[in-house]
């Protein structure tokens, strides 16, 4: 099968300074075992898993701390052996700064594994494998943390696309992982192709990673239909829809998923963790994190999930009081607290540079230059979105300007000469619109329940009236007289008793 080498350029995009070299000079580093690990229970999109350990329990490395409760859920594991010290809401790396349920593990330094069982991929049914994956804690490690077993529950996939673009400045964790864990990565690709019966794979990688490219070229066997496609460095080529277009020239229609068109996309780190789970039985207990920015020695770390990020920052030559962004400079968010642990979503910790600070502080009015229109990869009208979000005209945003097609890539904010934080306006508008939709749903239920109650009361009234009428009709006149007589006798008897008593 021949895959054309043509690269389909998408509309818009920007070419920011990469800043990638600063964190790729040294190999991936490991920190000594931290004294305590802060592991948030929910590190994925979906339902909160069910905690299965108690305070004081001894847990082993790789032991399940919380079980998935529904299909849209994933397990959370202990990243080393030790004791469960606390289970309580604590700070998590989330833009809200709100706490969520966490487990604190006091490590015992032994780093003792549970018994790991590799999976016999040739002799396992797909449903069994998916069930196992659900308990493996494998989620999309590109940052979206979508449970992987759901993505593997697809059929008729024609093309597997590996997202190795890593288009956001500063982030280098996938680059380093491909260089150092090449075999696991290729195993992951082969396993997914085997599981889903996919005939061909294209790895999309930006041309700013020459080392990873040459390493992959040396191991990849093109007869197996795994192709490496080197794409120019344009942000946001790593966005799923942009990448699919770059690779295949296919545009995914609105409200359709790539799987419906026979395409599945996996990120590098996710493939590595799938390979490690199937080949060695290892659940997700660590990930590669890029620690970079305004620090002494930026580096990549193979960090255990739950490692306090302050230790990483300190080791990279930073100051724990520094402002830190989780994710990249384009799509990341400022961490409200730095007393949090590493999570599966944490691909990068970026210490804020002075340049970023100066940009954030001066917002000026929109001058309608439409520079943002030229770079918007979703081909929206960012300036109109901004006006309507600012004036809270939400209906126009969804109906006329397709706000929900916005991928929040930040290209518009990057080029804005007035330094307007455009994406923040879109995020605000999106969450308001979602909230309104939810409350109108709740209101509809309340209306139905109220209407049914009024109907029920009416019905009960009618039924009671009918019952009374029926009873009255059944009793004949003689019976009525008799009843009255009986009552009279009873009353007289009672009066007599009272009189006797008084005497």
Partner 1 sequence: MIEAILITLSITILIGLVLGYASIKLKTTGDPIVDKIDKILPQTQCGQCGYPGCKPYATAIANGEADINQCPPGGDDGIHKLADLLGVEYKPLNAEHGEPKPKSVAIIDESTCIGCTLCIQACPVDAIVGAAKQMHTIIEKECTGCELCLPPCPVDCIDMQVIPETTENWKWKYPIYKIEQQN
Give the nearer residue to partner 1 in terms of CB position, either 224 or 434.
434
* Minimum distance, C-beta of residue 351 to partner 1, in the bound complex (Å): 21
- Closest distance to partner 1 from the beta carbon of 457 (Å): 9
If the CB atoms of residues 448 and 485 are measured against partner 1, the closer one turns out to be 448
Closer CB to partner 1, 446 or 495, in the complex: 446
State how far the alpha carbon of 461 is from the alpha carbons of 94, 223, 448, in Å: 54, 79, 20
Other CB atoms within a 10 A radius of the CB of residue 122 amount to 6
Exposure string for 461-495, b = 16+ CB within 10 A, e = fewer = eeeeeeeeeeeeeeeeeeeeeeeeeeeeeeeeeee
CB 67 to partner 1: min, Å: 19
Closer by beta carbon to partner 1, 440 or else 470: 440
Shortest gap between Cβ of 46 and partner 1 (angstroms)?
A: 11
Tokens of 502: 């008084």
CB of 441 to partner 1, least distance (A): 11
CB of 334 to partner 1, least distance (A): 13
Nearer to partner 1, 451 or 492 (CB): 451
Nearer to partner 1, 448 or 466 (CB): 448
> Where along the sequence are the contacts to partner 1 (CB under 8 A)?
92, 94-96, 98, 100, 361, 363, 421, 424-425, 427-428, 430-432, 435, 439-440, 442-447, 449-453, 456
Query: Between residues 322 and 419, which has the closer beta carbon with respect to partner 1?
Result: 419
CA–CA distance, 468 with 204 (Å, rounded to integer): 80
Give one DSSP letter per residue of 276-295, joined into a string. Answer: HHHHH---S-EEEEEEEESS
CB 201 within 8 A of CB 193: yes
The percent helix, strand, coil of the chain (3-state, each to 5) is 40, 20, 40
CA-CA distances (angstroms) from residue 337 to 206, 273, 316, 479? 33, 28, 18, 83
- Nearer Cβ to partner 1 (40/62): 40
DSSP 114-158: PPP----GGG--HHHHHHHHHTTT-B-TTTT--BHHHHTS-----
- β-pair partners for 76: 66
CB of 425 to partner 1, least distance (A): 6
Q: CB 16 → partner 1: shortest distance, Å?
A: 22
The tokens of 5 are what?
A: 């080498």
**Alpha-carbon torsion (214, 220, 221, 224), positive or negative:** negative
- How far is the CA of 239 from the CAs of 204, 236, 323, 378, in angstroms? 11, 6, 26, 10
Tokens of residue 225, six digits: 């239909």
Q: How far is the CB of 447 from partner 1 (least distance, A)?
A: 5
**In 268-384, where do the E strands start and end?**
286-293, 299-304, 324-326, 333-334, 348-351
Nearer residue to partner 1 within complex by CB, 91 or 233? 91
Helix pair 182-196, 210-219: axis angle to 10 deg = 60
* 234 within 8 A of 109, measured Cβ to Cβ: no
Closest separation between CB of residue 421 and partner 1, Å? Answer: 5
| Cis peptide preceding 236, ω within 30 of 0 | yes
For residue 424, the minimal CB distance to partner 1 (Å) is 4
Nearer residue to partner 1 within complex by CB, 71 or 424: 424
Smaller CB separation from partner 1, 224 or 438: 438
């Amino acid at each position: 099968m021949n895959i054309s080498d043509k690269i389909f350029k998408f509309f818009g995009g920007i070419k920011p300074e990469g800043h990638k070299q600063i964190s790729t000079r040294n190999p991936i580093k490991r920190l000594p075992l931290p004294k305590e690990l802060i592991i948030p229970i929910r590190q994925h999109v979906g339902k909160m898993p069910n905690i299965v350990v108690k305070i004081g329990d001894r847990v082993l490395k790789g032991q399940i701390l919380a079980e998935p409760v529904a299909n849209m859920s994933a397990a959370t594991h202990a990243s080393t052996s030790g004791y469960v010290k606390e289970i309580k809401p604590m700070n998590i790396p989330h833009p809200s700064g709100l706490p969520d349920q966490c487990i604190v593990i006091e490590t015992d330094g032994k780093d003792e594994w549970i018994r790991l069982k590799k999976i016999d991929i040739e002799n396992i049914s797909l449903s069994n494998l998916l069930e196992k994956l659900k308990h493996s804690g494998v989620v999309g490690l590109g940052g979206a943390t979508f449970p992987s077993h759901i993505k593997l529950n697809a059929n008729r996939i024609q093309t597997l696309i590996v997202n190795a673009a890593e288009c956001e400045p500063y982030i280098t964790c996938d680059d380093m992982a491909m260089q150092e864990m090449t075999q696991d990565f290729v195993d992951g690709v082969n396993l997914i192709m085997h599981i889903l019966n996919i005939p061909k794979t294209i790895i999309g990688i930006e041309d700013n990673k020459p080392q990873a490219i040459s390493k992959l070229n040396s191991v990849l066997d093109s007869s197996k239909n795994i192709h490496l496609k080197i794409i120019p460095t344009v942000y946001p080529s790593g966005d799923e829809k942009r990448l699919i277009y770059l690779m295949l020239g296919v545009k995914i229609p609105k409200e359709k998923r790539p799987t419906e068109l026979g395409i599945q996309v996996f990120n590098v780190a996710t493939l590595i963790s799938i390979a490690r789970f199937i080949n060695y039985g290892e659940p997700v207990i660590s990930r590669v994190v890029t620690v970079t920015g305004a620090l002494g020695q930026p580096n990549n770390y193979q960090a255990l999930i739950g490692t306090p990020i302050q230790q990483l920052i300190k080791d990279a030559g930073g100051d724990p009081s520094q402002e830190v962004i989780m994710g990249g400079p384009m799509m990341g968010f400022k961490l409200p607290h730095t007393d949090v642990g590493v999570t599966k979503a944490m691909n990068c910790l970026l210490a804020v540079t002075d340049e970023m600070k100066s940009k954030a502080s001066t917002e000026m009015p929109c001058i309608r230059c439409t520079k943002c229109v030229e770079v918007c990869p979703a081909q929206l009208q960012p300036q109109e979105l901004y006006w309507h979000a600012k004036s809270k005209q939400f209906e126009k945003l969804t109906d006329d300007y397709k706000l929900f097609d916005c991928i929040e890539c930040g290209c518009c904010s990057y080029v804005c000469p007035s330094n307007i934080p455009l994406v923040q306006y879109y995020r605000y508008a999106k969450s308001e619109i979602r909230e309104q939709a939810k409350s109108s749903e709740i209101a509809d239920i309340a209306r139905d329940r109220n209407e049914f109650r009024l109907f029920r009361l009416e019905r009960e009234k009618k039924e009671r009236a009918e019952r009374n009428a029926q009873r009255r009709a059944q009793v004949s006149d003689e019976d009525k007289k008799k009843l009255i007589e009986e009552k009279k006798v009873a009353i007289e008897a009672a009066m007599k008793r009272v009189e006797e008593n008084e005497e």
